[in-house]
Amino acid sequence: MTERFTGSFTQQEPIPDDAIDAAVAVMRTGRLHRYNVADGEAGEVALLEQEFAAAMGAKYALATASGGAAMATALRACGVGPGDQVLTNAFTLAPVPGAIASLGAVPVYVEVTEGLVIDLDHLSALAETVAYKTLLLSHMRGHIADMDALMAICDGAGITVIEDCAHTMGGAWDGVMSGQHGAVACYSTQTYKHLNSGEGGFLTTNDPDIMARAVILSGSYMLYDRHLAAPGPEVFEKVKYVTPNVSSRMDHLRAAILRPQLRKLAQQCARWNERYDRVEAGLRGTPGLTLIDRPKKETYVGSSIQFLLLDWSEKAVSEVLRRCASRGVELKWFGGAEPVGFTSRYDSWRYAPVEKLHKTDRVLKSIVDMRLPLTFSLEDCDLLARIIRSEVGAVWQAGQTA
Ligand SMILES: *Cc1c(COP(=O)(O)O)cnc(C)c1O
């Protein structure tokens, strides 16, 4: 009998009951705007920011309308402006170059390695030729580069690092939480990320001046003293007249459903990793399939898994995807010239100039990606691995004998 998978790759777990109760309680007050609080009340957003800063090991946190809004705010707060060139990963998702372009700045792409992290040799070569000021570093699909080496390159070249931690909330490098290496870190709470408020995001930083600018940018009017995870009023005095309001605030309703989820983040990350490790174990040793080595120093959150079909023809990769899909296994391919669903390539963002990146092209052509929602059981994960293994094996064998 041919096994089939019947689960849904887009089905997240329900919002927990305590979060639903908190949301209903907020709605009963009618006070949904973050600065609409009763006497003596801190408000769900300010409390969430305080708790999020503590959970990420940061001094300050700001809750935003989306991860993209957090990145654009971070870039502005770090002084990026129109025409500035901002380094970023060639392997990432559309909100990253989009945040750069939203400021009238220009993304400059850095190559990706077979380990799916930013290529530090290419980064250092770029840093030597042009005086870049900013790197928007995407920890794409949760793969973390050697952050000590990366920071040495960027510190040496005077480059400010902004981390896109959309896929590393809860992860770490060598025991240091992801997001604690650069000047600012950005997170997303969009439905498919590690916390789910539909849309939403955060930025964290330890720098009081960046934080004060970020708070005013996000749309605080002169109500910044209502923030609990922000510097004192003397820091805001320096920036309050010269920082524009680019409204991108989070509201109490979303904060209310995030606070109970945040308390369970570590537990959820452990559940993702159980699933990741099961699929990875089931795929190990499949001929023609390359797993991504996870460095010892990396604490990852396996909310999705990637493998490479290195140097396979487009036809053979498509055949694997087609055969897996016919058995209910939804795989995404990052190699397609046309952007499809959430996958797109650095050269499909045609608003920005591109240099051909040969190393990246080879890797992108080989990346196969699968989401691992927590609604999948461990037995589901074993089944997924068996199906992928058999279909990759069948196409690989046909290629060997052709
Ligand atoms: C989701 C995501 C973001 C932020 O996206 P929003 O949808 O704006 O919250 C940023 N980077 C990556 C890699 C993402 O996947």
Interval between CA 29 and ligand 1 midpoint (Å)? 31
The pLDDT tens digits for 257-302 are 999 999 999 999 999 999 999 999 999 999 999 999 999 999 999 9
Interval between CA 188 and ligand 1 midpoint (Å)? 6
Which residue's CA lies nearest to atom 9 of ligand 1?
A: 67
Q: What is the mean pLDDT of each run of 10 residues along the chain (402 residues)?
A: 94 98 98 97 98 98 98 98 97 96 97 98 96 97 98 98 98 98 98 98 98 98 97 97 97 98 98 98 97 98 98 95 97 86 86 92 96 98 98 92 64
Which residue's CA lies nearest to atom 11 of ligand 1?
A: 166
Kindly give the number of the ligand 1 atom that is closest to the alpha carbon of 92: 13
Is 58 in contact with 179 (CB distance < 8 Å)? yes
For the chain, give the mean pLDDT: 96
What is the CB < 6 Å shell around ligand 1? 66-68, 92-93, 95-96, 138, 140, 164, 166-167, 188, 190, 193, 201
d(CA 117, CA 120): 9
The pLDDT tens digits for 60-85 are 999 999 999 999 999 999 999 999 99
- What was the pLDDT predicted at 243? 97
CATH hierarchy code of domain 17-263: 3.40.640.10
170 by DSSP, 3-state: which?
A: coil
Task: For 265-397, give the CATH class.
Answer: alpha beta
- What was the pLDDT predicted at 401? 67
- What was the pLDDT predicted at 211? 98
To test the pocket of ligand 1, the residue of 193, 194, 203 to mutate (highest count of ligand atoms within 8 Å of its CB) is 193
d(CA 157, CA 43): 41
d(CA 229, CA 238): 18
Dihedral pair phi/psi, residue 34, rounded to 5°: -60, -25
- What was the pLDDT predicted at 337? 78
- What was the pLDDT predicted at 340? 83
pTM for the model: 0.97
Domain boundaries of the chain, sorted by first residue: 17-263, 265-397
Q: List all residues 6 or more positions away from 116 whose beta carbon is below 8 Å from its beta carbon.
A: 91, 140, 141, 143, 292, 306, 363, 367
86 by DSSP, 3-state: which?
A: strand
By C-alpha distance, which of 241, 234, 170, 154 is closest to 202? 170
The pLDDT tens digits for 30-57 are 999 999 999 999 999 999 999 999 999 9
d(CA 333, CA 320): 10
Q: Rounded to 5, what percent of the chain is helix, strand, coil? A: 40, 15, 45
Interval between CA 325 and ligand 1 midpoint (Å)? 25
